[in-house]
Structure 1
Amino acid sequence: MRISPRTPWAAGLAVAALVLIPATASAGSQRTAAPHADAAVTTATATSVDSYYAAAEGKTGAALKTALHDIIKNQSKVTYDGVWNALKVTDQDPANPNNVILVYSGRSQSKSTNGGGVNDWNREHVWAKSHGDFGTATGPGTDLHHLRPEDVTVNSTRGNKDFDNGGSPVSEAPGSFTDSDSFEPRDAVKGDVARMLLYMAVRYEGGDGFADLEMNDKVNNGTAPLFGRISLLKQWNQQDPPDAFEQRRNQVIFDTFQHNRNPFIDHPEWVNSIW
């Protein structure tokens, strides 16, 4: 499958200075990215995307998973403090450059209202940081491919629950539901959630000093480095294919911050090839 060229969103996204750690750097050789006063989103052509995944072409199953891991593990890393400013760029509201879109709530909210107070937005780990116990460590704890802005209260309600259907409606997150052991996001981001989790299961294979993150078909995974339910997440991937917002987000992370991609946004069909 070839990926059609992306249409860049609004240029002129203000990006504050971030501390980035190149994939090849040691812990003591950090580099600071210069402030981007006019960080435009480039267009990913079919040729450039195909070239990025060249080593994975023609593979399926475990061989495809390994090939993708070897590709996407080459990245720069954002510090946890740097995540605040990064999310103001990756999740910018296309209709209002002063706002971000909250992932579960779907609400457009001022970029300046990030924090820990009621009605603030904070940094939601879609792969809950207790699943594998990586916390906010630079690496899986700061990987922008699964970090999203969310209302503080909704983030707390979701907690570290696995994903499944059903439950009671979530206040401040229309279309989302929760019960004692699972969380169901609104329909418009079900596929986004699936692809973020599957990215994490490919990116982190136990070779970075962190746990090997894997998928299973259960809920109540607790602190095990596992997330479910894979059978449902595969359905969500098909029911909610990547839209312009998700594609743009993938491109911004690649161009401006981490310089790696989520392969399941570029190639959603690879989900069924691996799982």
Structure 2
Amino acid sequence: MKKTHIAALMILISGMTFATCDQSKFYSGLPTHLSGYEFKSKLSNLLTKTHRSLSYDDLHQAYTRSDRDKTYDGDNTILDMYSENPNGRDPYKFRAGQKKCGQYRNEGDCYNREHLFPQGLFGKRRPMKTDIFHVYPSDGKVNGMRSSYPFGEVGEARWISENGSKLGRSKDPAYRRTVFEPIDEFKGDIARAMLYFAVRYESRIPSFRYNDMTDGSRDQTYSTWFLKTLLKWHKQDPVSEHERYRNDQACRYQKNRNPFIDHPEWALAIWEVQ
């Protein structure tokens, strides 16, 4: 093939890739007149069809772009939801590619890759294990303390991180066991990541192990108490500039998007819980 033809082909491919991550074009084929679980299934098909599976090492490389702090401190450090202090000085910072776990004993020792939807529930299988839209860089110590506990609102804390995230007994009367609560600034971020997971892996959810936050169904996916918490956080903590930036950058690597960042209204169009 002549060099001119190769160059033209590369330009075409580059243009196609850019168009794929363009918001308006990405969703252009969706039947948006639908709602509820019917719409959820159509959205799941889109996210699955466009998803390019990453390797576990790819995540660290992607974080050097997707998780730079461009909005809070603007210092290009790795933005960790468990150490970021949106109203003051961060207790510690992570530079991209440095202090990756590794070994840790204390907060600030290193950062690793946290699966917001616990990977033990899907047997550590790909593409779930390496899906950047629910696998976030986080402090190793705090990630270890969160373990596989559901997210929720803590009544009585038995451990508090340096930025105020808590582990303790839930104050939700519908669920009184141990939960992990991030600070208010990132509750919506986590909720939208978990809702993404429910849509992207709709067809696989019934084969996963259950825990207290899941109900095993492909439709609702999450236990009612937990889904109510996610939708509450989604409404109370609107989409941030960092989320929009991360969504765009992550798409460059994985080729799909988190639709609840682009269209927050779709979450309530899909799930209705009393």
What TM-score, normalized to structure 1?
A: 0.73
After TM superposition, the structure 1 = structure 2 runs for residues 38-117 of structure 1, keeping only pairs within 5 Å, are 48-54=22-28, 55-74=30-49, 75-94=51-70, 95-97=74-76, 99-106=77-84, 107=90, 108-111=93-96, 112-117=98-103
Sequence identity of aligned pairs in percent?
29
Please tell me the residue identity of whatever aligns with 1:86.
Answer: A
Residue 269 of structure 1: aligned partner: 265
1:222, 1:57 → 2: CA distance?
27
- Report if the CA contact (8 A) 1:154-1:170 is conserved: no
Deviation at 1:53, TM superposition (A): 1.7
CA distance in 2, matches of 1:116, 1:170: 23
Distance, in Å, in 2 between the alignment partners of 1:186 and 1:43 is 35
Alpha-carbon distance change, 232 to 222 in structure 1, aligned in 2, over 3 angstroms: closer
Q: Confirm or deny: 8 A CA contact 1:199 1:262 kept in the other structure.
A: yes
CA deviations 1:31-82 (Å, max 9, x no partner) are: xxxxxxxxxxx8999xx42332231311110111011101111211111122
Whether the aligned pair in 2 keeps the contact of 1:162 and 1:227 (CA below 8 Å) is no
Equivalent runs, 1:71-220 vs 2, <5 Å: 71-74=46-49, 75-94=51-70, 95-97=74-76, 99-106=77-84, 107=90, 108-111=93-96, 112-118=98-104, 119-130=109-120, 132-135=121-124, 137-166=125-154, 167-168=156-157, 170-179=159-168, 181-206=178-203, 220=212
Number of equivalenced pairs: 223
Cα 1:140/1:124, change in 2 over 3 Å: same
Judging changes above 3 Å, is the alpha-carbon distance between structure 1 residues 182 and 56 closer, same or farther for their aligned structure 2 residues?
A: farther
- Listed as ranges, the matches of 1:22-33 within 5 Å are none
Shift of 1:182: 0.9
Q: How far is the alpha carbon of 1:206 from its aligned partner?
A: 3.0
Query: Measured at CA, do residues 82 and 158 of structure 1 come closer, stay the same or move farther in structure 2, by a change above 3 Å?
Result: same
Determine the C-alpha separation between the residues in 2 that align with 1:58 and 1:223.
Answer: 28
Q: 1:82 to 1:238 in 2, by over 3 A?
A: same
Task: Give unpaired runs (5+ residues) of structure 2.
Answer: 1-17, 85-89, 170-177
Letter of the 1:105 partner, please give it.
Answer: S
Amino acid at match of 2:26: Y
Report which of the two has the higher share of strand.
1
**CA deviation digits over 1:154-203, x for unaligned, max 9?**
00000001111014164434231112521111111100000000000000
Kept in 1: contact 2:64–2:78 (CA 8 A) = yes
Query: Would the aligned equivalents of 2:215 and 2:222 in 1 still touch at CA under 8 Å?
Result: no
When the two chains are superposed, the root-mean-square deviation of aligned CA atoms in Å is 2.8
Conserved in 2, the CA contact under 8 Å of 1:154 and 1:173? no
User: How much has 1:212 moved relative to structure 2?
Assistant: 5.3
Unaligned runs of 5+ in 1: 1-41
Deviation at 1:205, TM superposition (A): 2.1
